[in-house]
């Protein structure tokens, strides 16, 4: 499976290739269960920009390398020197937000094809896509409360719009893991298939979408996005401040240390 020359990735941790009219973007960090590093966040918007301008690309499919994980979260090995410092936190969050917004606002259909762990940032990628299909052995979780980090507004909005406020609070407050059956039941994913049948399920979607009327699909996606827009009294500054307060807290430093030391964190609300 060779990379299409028009879609060379800026990092080896992202594979990109064209299959017919489908651009595949694969997270390729299997040693860390496809955890997202800075270079991976940076590569996604560049690929989407090329795909946006290429009329031969009708849709994009996101997947993870190997059979263990779609994306297992952030690359924790970078936390010590990247996310521990105020400026580094800001940079990481900006790159991640740009990539996720790029996926959400991409004019053509996007599908997340999930197998294995879909944790933290993996959920964020998946819920930024239009459609999610998953294997029956997939596992979902948002463990932000186990680390004391701030969970960005756009991801919370996408989660709430998908599963409703009740399930969003359940998933977020507890940080618990959901199996594929529960993810399907609450609307976190659209369809689930046995592992051997996942490629056929994905092909069902790629065939239907690439043979549909592109302008009709594009209009439908844009109109749905307009329907979901927020009221004008939304306080964006307050949300940004709340998230930054988390990242600047003693609890975040404790959560990060505890994760690296493989122990339970002791949070103090400071």
C-beta of residue 59 within 8 angstroms of C-beta of residue 97: no
Looking at 1.10.150.110, 3.90.1300.10, 3.40.640.10, 3.90.226.10, the CATH number of the domain 5-227 comes to 3.90.226.10
Instruction: Return the minimum-mean-pLDDT range out of 19-23, 56-60, 247-251.
Output: 247-251
pLDDT at 174 over 90: yes
Q: CB count, 10 Å around CB of 248?
A: 13
Question: Which residue ranges make up each domain of the chain?
Answer: 5-227
Pairing of strands 22-27, 69-71: unpaired
Structure tokens at 44: 């996604």
pLDDT tens for residues 188-223?
A: 999 999 999 999 999 999 999 999 988 889 989 998
* Amino acid 199: pLDDT: 98
> How far, in Å, CA of 240 to CA of 89, rounded?
13
On average, the pLDDT of the chain sits at 88
């Amino acid at each position: 499976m060779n990379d299409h020359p028009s879609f060379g990735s800026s990092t080896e941790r992202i594979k990109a290739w064209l299959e017919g009219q489908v651009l595949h973007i694969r997270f390729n960090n299997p040693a860390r269960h496809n955890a997202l590093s800075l270079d991976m966040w940076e590569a996604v918007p560049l690929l989407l920009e090329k795909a946006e301008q290429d009329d031969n690309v009708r849709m994009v499919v996101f997947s993870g390398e190997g059979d263990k994980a779609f994306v297992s979260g952030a690359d924790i090995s970078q936390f010590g020197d990247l996310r521990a410092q105020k400026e580094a936190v800001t940079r990481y969050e900006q790159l991640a937000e740009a990539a996720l917004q790029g996926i959400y606002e991409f004019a053509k259909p996007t599908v997340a094809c999930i197998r294995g762990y879909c944790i933290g940032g993996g959920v964020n990628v998946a819920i930024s896509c239009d459609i999610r299909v998953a294997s029956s052995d997939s596992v979902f979780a948002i463990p932000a409360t186990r680390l004391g980090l701030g969970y960005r507004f756009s991801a919370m909005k996408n989660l709430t719009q998908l599963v409703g406020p009740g399930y969003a609070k359940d998933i977020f407050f507890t940080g618990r893991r959901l199996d594929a059956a529960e993810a399907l039941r609450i609307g976190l994913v659209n369809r689930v298939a046995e592992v051997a049948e996942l490629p056929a399920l994905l092909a069902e979607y790629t065939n239907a979408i690439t043979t549909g009327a592109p302008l009709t699909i594009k209009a439908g996606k844009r109109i749905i996005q307009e329907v979901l827009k927020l009221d004008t009294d939304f306080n964006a500054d307050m949300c940004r401040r709340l998230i930054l307060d988390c990242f600047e807290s003693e609890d975040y430093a404790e959560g990060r240390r505890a994760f690296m030391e493989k122990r339970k964190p002791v949070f103090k609300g400071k």
